[in-house]
Every structure is written in C-alpha cells, then in structure tokens.
C-alpha cells in the first residue's frame, strides 16, 4: 500500500506530537490522586476521535473511570470491527529508577521513553492513526469501525465489565470482530497473532496475631509471629520445581498437544539472552516445559508484595501484630478463579497456626483463553500482517492477561484478534518503559493493513 505509506510518512511528526500529548497525561488508574487525569485522558481521546476522524463520539460515564466510544459513519453491508484499547497506565513506582521523567516522552536511541509509551497508549494510538491514514488516503473507510477505550484495564476493568451487562450497551458495541493491540509481537521483524492469553486471579492475605506489636524479648518463643506464619503458609503454595501444591489446582488444565508444542517452539527465543536482559543467569519453573511454554501455556504463582513488621531505619525488636501479602496466579484454559478461591481458602485454613487469624480477600479474576485459529477474520489479519512484514505471522500464546477480553468476545459474540505491536523488552510496567519509533510506525501500517483485509471478509449478511 504505497499511497498509504506516503500518508503515514507525511503525518509522521503530527502523529508523534499527538502520541506525546497523550503520554503527558498521567492516567494511573491505581492511584486515587490521578482521578482528574483519568477524565482528562478520556476527554482528550474523545476529542481526537471526533476532531481527527470525524467519528460520532460518547464519553460514557460509569461508577469509576469514563469509557470512550467512537463510531464511523455506517457503511451498510460492510463488516464491523471494534477496536479495543486502554488509556490507563500502571503506577511509575519505583520513581528513582527512571532515567527520564516518567510522564515526559523522551526520545533516545530510536525509542520513546515514557509510562504508557507501549502499554497501552502507544499501541492504542497506532489504530487511531491507521484509521486516520486510511481516511486521508482513500477518502473513506472500507468497513465500519468502532473504538472502545477503557480507563481501568490495569485494575480489573470493572466499569467495562458492568457496561457489557446491559443489552442496549452490547448493541452499541456490536461487531463482527474485535481487534486489540495490547500484546507483544515475537520480534522486531517478526509479526505475530496472539491466540492465547493467560488469565489472572489476585488475592490479599492478611494474618493478625497479638493486638499490638510486642517486645520480642518478653514474648519471643512463646507466641506466634504473624510474619513467620505468613512466610511458612505462602512457602507451601509452590514447590522448587514451580508446581503449585493447592489440591485440585491442575484438574482443569488443558494439556498441551504435541502439535501445539511444535507451533510454540517456532517462536524465536534465546533463553540466555532473554535472562541476561533482566539481569539473571537462571530460569525457574516446571522442568518438563520450555520457558516459552511456562510463560504462555502453563499456570504460575507469584507474590507481588509482602509487608509486616518494622521496615524503618536500624532495627526494632518486635513481634509484629500483623502481616500481609498480595499475590496472583496466572491461569490457563480451562482454569477458573472460583474453584481456586475455595481451594485456597481451605488450604490456608488447614495451615493456620493457633493464635493467628486470617483474612483472604479476592481482588479480581479471569480464566485463561485460547482463540480458535479457523476464524476468517483471523486469517485476514494474518494476510494483512504478511503484507507489511513480508512474512507470515507466528501464532503465539502470551503470559500476560487482558481480563475483559474474554467477556467482551463472549457477550458480543464476535471473533477476536490480538495483534500486538510491542516487544517483550519494552519494559511495560517497569521503570523506563519505551516503544520504539519503528514499532510504533510499523504498528500503524500493520493496523491499516489488517483493517483493509478485514473489510474483504464476507459476513454472510
């Protein structure tokens, strides 16, 4: 599509400036102080869809952060694609590890450093600019396009989930296919379509012992220490081979077929290099599975944070009154959060020492998913990617989660395409997140090529 490439080239600076504007709004959904920024971000996006694309736009109020919906003028008989993205970002903590200000996009070495540069402002905007470029090049779009942007993917998608409960809202979002750029491609010159994502379920466990911190000399050795109880209870969840020891945990796991293992093994992956990039010299996990399989197609357990007792300067000889931990499990098909929650409650109860009280709070949860590869839309998207990269995309399973996606796919009865433009090394959720300029513009070109191919799929109407 040489004409389209010219349009993208011509608009290069404008697309960059617009992307940077979005990045400067610190829309961190997890932190209450950023509440006004969430609204600012939603309105900024609505203005973009209206002003640049001429879409009919609604900022939809919710109990929490607004949703942004936009729709192109209707073309009867053409397929409808709904493009999903999220405008919220992760917190920037630990701030002292950022080499440049986290909300000031900084270009260096062909990369744009900023929180949200990739996840998911950069990736979301590749679709907006793809639509803009198609409109500018051809004067109209080849299919019906809807956008839905939410502001709480990073905290569990509550508002969008509730929104999908109503039939009227589902009619508004109705589409033949949902298109998402919020995942990774296998390599800089290696396109991919993600056909599986892990689910995730999050909990917080709090253990309470004495009614106040006690002198560890006066009481030590005679009462339970909640921090020790927490450590020993958590240490039983997983063994040194990465096997999760909750009874029944693996019951619903769909085993990997030999065919699928062969497909996953096609993904170029240098284990030593990938480890070195994060400062490690050894991997961890189930020995009978490769690292790629462990990440994308096997469940896992992680403690995200643990607190209790004295953390200040110097030392303090106490038995803390309390200890708590936040932890998550990644789930694969057909594991679901509910049976795990019940099993986990019983598992911890059985191990709770006398003198300690426990409170297990479920935070959010979604099962794992795989998408059937037969979808004509998926095949069309693959053709689109091939035309840009000059090679067919790999079909991959990724370890991250986009919990709302499964509900959206099911409640709209639409096919789903996850075509990521980012790379594993983009440091999403970490300090110094970036998106390369090259991947950003390739993302725009890919999104345009995918839309062009989707438009050619017969919907049988």
Nearer to ligand BES, 226 or 393 (CB): 393
Give, as ranges, the residues between 180 and 199 that touch ligand BES (CB under 6 A).
182-184, 197
150 near ligand BES, judged by CB under 6 A = no
Least distance (Å) between residue 89 CB and Mn ion: 8
Least distance (Å) between residue 407 CB and ligand BES: 13
Q: Which of 200, 207, 297, 449 binds ligand BES (CB under 6 A)?
A: 200
Q: Which conformational region is residue 301 in: left (phi greater than 0), alpha (psi within -120 to 50 degrees), or beta?
A: beta
The dihedral over CA atoms of 161, 162, 168, 170, expressed in degrees to the nearest 10, equals 10
Give, as ranges, the residues between 363 and 392 that touch ligand BES (CB under 6 A).
364
Least distance (Å) between residue 398 CB and ligand BES: 4
Cα–Cα distance, 346 to 343 (Å, whole number): 5
122 binds, among ligand BES, Mn ion, none (CB under 5 to 8 A by kind): none
Structure-token pair, residue 327 = 């932890």
Contact 334, 252 (CB under 8 A): yes
403 binds, among Mn ion, ligand BES, none (CB under 5 to 8 A by kind): ligand BES
Binding residues with ligand BES: total (CB under 6 A) = 16
DSSP letter, residue 97:
G
290 binds, among ligand BES, Mn ion, none (CB under 5 to 8 A by kind): none
CA angle 105, 88, 307 (to 5 degrees): 100
Nearer to ligand BES, 182 or 260 (CB): 182
Q: Environment class of residue 383 by beta-carbon count within 10 Å: exposed (0-12), middle (13-18) or buried (19+)?
A: middle
Q: Which of 37, 88, 118, 120 binds Mn ion (CB under 5 A)?
A: 120
Give, as ranges, the residues between 43 and 62 that touch Mn ion (CB under 5 A).
none
355 φ/ψ angles, rounded to the nearest 5 degrees:
90, 0
Q: Which of 398, 415, 433, 445 binds ligand BES (CB under 6 A)?
A: 398
Least distance (Å) between residue 460 CB and ligand BES: 31
Q: Which of 144, 400, 419, 433 binds ligand BES (CB under 6 A)?
A: 400
Cα–Cα distance, 157 to 170 (Å, whole number): 16
Q: Taking the chain, what is the end-to-end CA distance rounded to the nearest angstrom?
A: 28
Q: Which of 403, 404, 408, 444 binds ligand BES (CB under 6 A)?
A: 403
Nearer to ligand BES, 320 or 365 (CB): 365
Give, as ranges, the residues between 179 and 238 that touch Mn ion (CB under 5 A).
182
Which residue's Cβ lies closest to ligand BES? 400
119 near Mn ion, judged by CB under 5 A = yes
Nearest to 364 by CA among 86, 165, 156: 156
Least distance (Å) between residue 447 CB and ligand BES: 16
426 near ligand BES, judged by CB under 6 A = no
CA angle 139, 140, 144 (to 5 degrees): 165
Measuring CA to CA, how many Å separate 97 from each of 25, 43, 90, 247?
Answer: 20, 31, 15, 40
326 near ligand BES, judged by CB under 6 A = no
| Residues in contact with ligand BES, shown as a per-residue x/- string from 163 to 182 under the rule CB under 6 A | -------------------x
Binding residues with Mn ion: total (CB under 5 A) = 3
Contact 90, 429 (CB under 8 A): yes
Least distance (Å) between residue 119 CB and Mn ion: 4
Cα–Cα distance, 321 to 329 (Å, whole number): 27
> Is residue 137 classed as helix, strand or coil in its secondary structure?
helix
Q: CB 358: neighbour CB atoms within 10 A?
A: 18
Q: Which of 15, 27, 72, 120 binds ligand BES (CB under 6 A)?
A: 120
Q: CB 24: neighbour CB atoms within 10 A?
A: 13
Least distance (Å) between residue 217 CB and ligand BES: 42
Q: Which of 37, 119, 176, 439 binds ligand BES (CB under 6 A)?
A: 119
Contact partners, residue 430, CB within 8 Å, separation at least 6:
none
Q: CB 8: neighbour CB atoms within 10 A?
A: 22
Kind of pairing between the strands at 177-180 and 300-308: unpaired
Q: How far is CA 141 from the centre of its chain?
A: 29
Nearer to ligand BES, 164 or 455 (CB): 164
27 near ligand BES, judged by CB under 6 A = no
152 binds, among ligand BES, Mn ion, none (CB under 5 to 8 A by kind): none
> Is residue 360 classed as helix, strand or coil in its secondary structure?
strand
Query: Footprint of ligand BES on this chain (CB under 6 A)?
Result: 119-120, 153-154, 156, 182-184, 197, 200, 364, 398, 400-403
Q: Which residues bind Mn ion (CB under 5 A)?
A: 119-120, 182
């Amino acid at each position: 599509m040489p004409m389209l490439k010219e349009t993208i080239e011509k608009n290069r600076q404008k697309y960059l400036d617009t992307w940077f504007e979005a990045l400067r709004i610190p829309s961190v959904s997890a932190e209450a102080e950023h509440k006004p920024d969430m609204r600012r971000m939603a309105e900024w996006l609505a203005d973009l869809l209206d002003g640049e694309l001429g879409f009919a736009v609604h900022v939809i109020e919710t109990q929490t952060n607004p949703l942004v919906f936009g729709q192109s003028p209707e073309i009867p008989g053409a397929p409808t694609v709904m493009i999903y993205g999220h405008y919220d970002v992760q917190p920037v903590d630990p701030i002292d590890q950022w080499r440049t200000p986290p909300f000031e996009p900084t270009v260096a070495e062909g990369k744009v450093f900023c929180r949200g540069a990739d996840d998911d402002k950069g990736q979301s905007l590749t679709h907006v600019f793809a639509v803009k470029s198609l409109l500018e090049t051809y004067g109209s779009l080849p299919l019906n396009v809807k956008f839905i942007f939410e502001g709480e993917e990073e905290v569990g998608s509550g508002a969008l989930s509730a929104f999908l409960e109503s039939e009227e809202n589902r009619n508004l979002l109705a589409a033949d296919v949902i298109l998402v750029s919020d995942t990774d491609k296998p390599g800089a010159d290696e396109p991919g379509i993600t056909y599986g994502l892990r689910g995730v379920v999050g909990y917080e466990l709090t253990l309470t012992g004495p009614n106040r911190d006690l002198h560890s000399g006066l009481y030590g050795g005679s009462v339970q220490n909640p921090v020790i109880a927490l450590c020993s209870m958590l240490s039983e969840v997983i063994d040194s081979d990465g096997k999760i020891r909750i009874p029944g945990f693996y019951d619903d796991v769909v085993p990997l077929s030999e065919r699928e293992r062969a497909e996953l093994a096609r993904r170029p992956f240098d284990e030593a290099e990938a480890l070195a990039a994060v400062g490690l010299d050894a991997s961890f996990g189930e020995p009978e599975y490769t690292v790629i399989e462990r990440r994308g197609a096997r469940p896992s357990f992680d403690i995200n944070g643990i607190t209790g007792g004295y953390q200040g300067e110097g030392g303090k000889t106490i038995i803390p009154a309390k200890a708590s931990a936040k932890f998550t499990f990644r789930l694969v098909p057909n594991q679901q959060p509910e049976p795990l929650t019940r099993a986990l409650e019983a598992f911890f109860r059985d191990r709770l020492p006398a003198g300690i009280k426990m409170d297990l709070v479920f935070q959010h949860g979604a099962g794992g998913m795989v998408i059937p590869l037969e979808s004509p839309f998926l095949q069309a998207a693959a053709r689109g990617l091939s035309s840009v990269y000059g090679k067919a995309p790999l079909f991959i399973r990724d370890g991250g989660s986009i919990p709302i996606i499964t509900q959206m796919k099911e409640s709209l009865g639409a096919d789903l395409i996850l075509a990521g433009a980012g790379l594993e090394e983009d440091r999403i959720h970490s300090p110094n997140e970036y998106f390369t300029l090259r991947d950003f513009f390739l993302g725009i070109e890919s999104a345009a090529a995918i839309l062009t191919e989707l438009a050619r799929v017969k919907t049988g109407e």
